[in-house]
Amino acid sequence: MEYRPFGKTDLKVSAIGFGCWEIGGTYGRIDESRFQRAVHQAIDDGITCFDTAEAYGMGVSEEAVGRALGARRRDVSIVTKFGVGYEEMPNRRDSSRQRVTASIERSLKRLQTDYVDVYMVHWPDPETPLDETMDALDDIVHQGKARYIGVSNFRRAQIEAAMGLRRVDVVQYGWNMFDRRMQAEIFPYCAAQQIGVMAYGSLAYGLLSGTFNAGMQFEESDWRSRGGMMGNLNLFRTLFGPEHFPRNLAAVEDLKRLAATCDKTLPQFALRWTLSNPVVGTALVGFREPAEVSENLGALGWTISDADMAEIDAILARHGCVTVPPGWLED
């Protein structure tokens, strides 16, 4: 395993992290017993970073992670998030002190632990003053319920504002071959401020697994069946939208062939691309079963040549893929 520094924290994280959105239930059916075996395989293979969130099934993912880790919790760093998915709120978001206090307690209970390593605001909440949120997060650190705090999906100006109130230790953003928006402002700022960076969507939400085809049907319970539409989020439209999906699939076939010239599978190749940016501490990927853990560890221990990096760009350009989607991550 390759380990990387995590900003200015004292955590060393595995370059590949275990993303636990899928077990929350919005990616179709997943066998929890296989998921549990994948968790143990991951730990055996040196993966130390596990990422979940209250919003992933509104507690379902956290509970599954807690059951899967058991006594091995001490061997890993747990990152969880709060702040979205509350039906009683006008915009389904709430980062108030009251919410921080209540959510951390519920998350700790579900995860079967007395602290998390990083506690993050999942999405910005424009209805709550930022100083209220940051003060509450600082308090739970002092109470020993979280070691570090972070934000996810914040604009650069919002991170700067947060940093003016209390240091942001870790951030989390989407980053993959098909979505490179963070390279313009976010990543340079994080590098300059030595903020730890977690990359989610490393395999473009399955597109870079190389297993999709034009005639496939996602399960109704799988959010990808909606053609890239998920409320006001602008993360998936240029991946799964009807205008983009066929072009992206064609590009994926060419990327598979390029990966093969390196004796790598496409997921290994795509993860290596994500990790090639030095600001990234850990690249998150979901695992449904142990075999996927072994497969994706093939992303480690080698580099993509400059010529192949250029060819990746050429393939995506040739197929008309949008690698810098217009607009921010939400409308």
- Could you tell me how far CA 171 lies from the centroid of its own chain? 10
Q: Are 147 and 115 a contacting pair, CB within 8 Å?
A: yes
Nearest residue to 228 via CA among 199, 250, 204, 200: 204
Instruction: Return the SS3 of 233.
Output: strand
Residue 228 CB neighbour total at 10 angstroms: 20
Supply φ then ψ for residue 198, to 5 degrees.
-110, 130
Q: Which residues lie across from 116 on neighbouring strands? A: 146
The active-site residue out of 27, 56, 119, 200 is: 56
Nearest residue to 43 via CA among 12, 73, 2, 81: 73
Nearest residue to 155 via CA among 132, 192, 184: 184
Tokens matching residue 271: 């993860």
Concerning whether 56 is annotated as a catalytic residue, the answer is yes
Tokens matching residue 188: 């340079």
Residue 57's alpha-carbon distances to 38, 53, 91, 221, 276, in angstroms, are: 19, 9, 18, 12, 31
Tokens matching residue 272: 């290596």
- C-alpha–C-alpha distance, residues 55 and 200, integer Å: 15
Put residue 163 in one of left, alpha, beta given phi > 0 → left and psi -120 to 50 → alpha. alpha
Nearest residue to 258 via CA among 308, 296, 215: 308
Tokens matching residue 67: 């059951």
Residues taking part in catalysis: 56
